[in-house]
Structure 1
């Protein structure tokens, strides 16, 4: 099973390369191990087009950040500020915390998905209002059309991109040899699709044989469409929320 002591159960993480640290800490607290199966890394966009798009987005009345990475890469490109009356919004508590670390107050929905975000009163009436959406290409694919459908003058700023990386041969070997209980944590439909498309057939079948712990109802539907037979929805995308659902599922088997 690779380096380190064997664990009683495992979670399979599809987070971007280098983005597993918080999950490893949360897993260790409940006695679980992590198999990191990253399909991509996150890379800054530093070209003039990205800079100009971010400059336009950051000047809007409402600025929506789709992830902590969007905050990090935008701030590195041109520092984030909040003008008088400007509303900053994060898609979840992690994104709001990333803005708070910069000294910026922001709103975030308690339901951390696109649907929860659209329920915020600040996004209820958008007719002809300029709204900045800070994200990556293909990021939050349902959110941009929904904001435009409400009449927003949308300024899209794609400040980073997902760069494919080879799937870890060690992680694939661990997946194929897995005997302990495990589950797949799904916080991105794109990551799930990418991993399943690139895994060898045997390994993809081994992945689908595990329960999927998903961060939203939309992702639950995608997991079922992808062939997962057992899908459980966590309260949100944070590592602790995903691990709590997984731990509850396996607690009776591990006691």
Structure 2
């Protein structure tokens, strides 16, 4: 195990129940983890969800935006790639989730919206139907940019992010935070949700942390929110976010 982040706290904005991979990555560098969940994930059972998913999966190109999108879609119907179709995943975690259902997909090296939009399969899409399996909010620029490129986006929101209030225990821990801290940032929406929900003194404590961001766009969002320092990780993977923090930490 490494010690480059010994004495540090890694702040996690993952959904309720989703902190374990980041906790393990932080522990591998000697850091502890403080979980600040902005929301929990819930199935979306709105009328028409199953029908919208069927239409999306019938498109010649289908994009899955998260492992949760895969899991909740598979709850509604089997996931099978039609002959001649191309399925795309936002990153390796989503691709692996699809593989576990028996479906193969392509993922970009840069595992974010910009990486997806840079794929050849999404570059010339004028007049093309593209299925988007996702949740309300999140990947906010993906669908509008595909529409600007001339695609018809067939959206299936198969799960929802249900905001949760920060736990009193997490708020108290944030208020007590005195040592060096790194925020692992992979979602601008998660950051905005947490900042809006925290009491003023806890919010100020969070803003004193350094940021390891999954992209240049997220690093800019962090700086605009008031964080003083943001470095860019190789990807949104927990181990890459922690590695970026460890490489930039003053004691590294």
TM normalised by structure 2 equals 0.95
Using the TM superposition, give the Cα deviation of residue 63 of structure 1 relative to its aligned residue in structure 2, in angstroms. Answer: 0.4
Query: Tell me, what secondary structure is at the counterpart of 1:100?
Result: helix
- Is the contact between residue 137 and residue 158 of structure 1 (CA under 8 Å) also seen in structure 2? yes
| Displaced runs of 4 or more, over 3 A | none
- Is the contact between residue 64 and residue 133 of structure 1 (CA under 8 Å) also seen in structure 2? yes
State the partner residue of 2:35: 36
- Is the contact between residue 80 and residue 102 of structure 2 (CA under 8 Å) also seen in structure 1? no
State the partner residue of 2:8: 9
State the partner residue of 1:204: 203
User: Mind listing any 5+ residue stretches in structure 2 that lack a counterpart?
Assistant: 1-5
- Is the contact between residue 185 and residue 214 of structure 1 (CA under 8 Å) also seen in structure 2? yes
Aligned equivalents of 1:150 and 1:22: distance in 2?
Answer: 36
TM normalised by structure 1 equals 0.94
State the partner residue of 1:184: 183
For these two proteins, the number of residue pairs brought into alignment is: 247
- Is the contact between residue 61 and residue 85 of structure 2 (CA under 8 Å) also seen in structure 1? yes
Aligned equivalents of 1:248 and 1:12: distance in 2?
Answer: 17
State the partner residue of 2:163: 164
State the partner residue of 1:4: none
Aligned equivalents of 2:182 and 2:28: distance in 1?
Answer: 17
Aligned equivalents of 1:179 and 1:201: distance in 2?
Answer: 17
Query: Tell me, what secondary structure is at the counterpart of 2:251?
Result: helix
Aligned equivalents of 2:215 and 2:251: distance in 1?
Answer: 25
Aligned equivalents of 2:70 and 2:13: distance in 1?
Answer: 21
Aligned equivalents of 2:66 and 2:123: distance in 1?
Answer: 21
State the partner residue of 1:241: 240
Aligned equivalents of 1:136 and 1:58: distance in 2?
Answer: 15
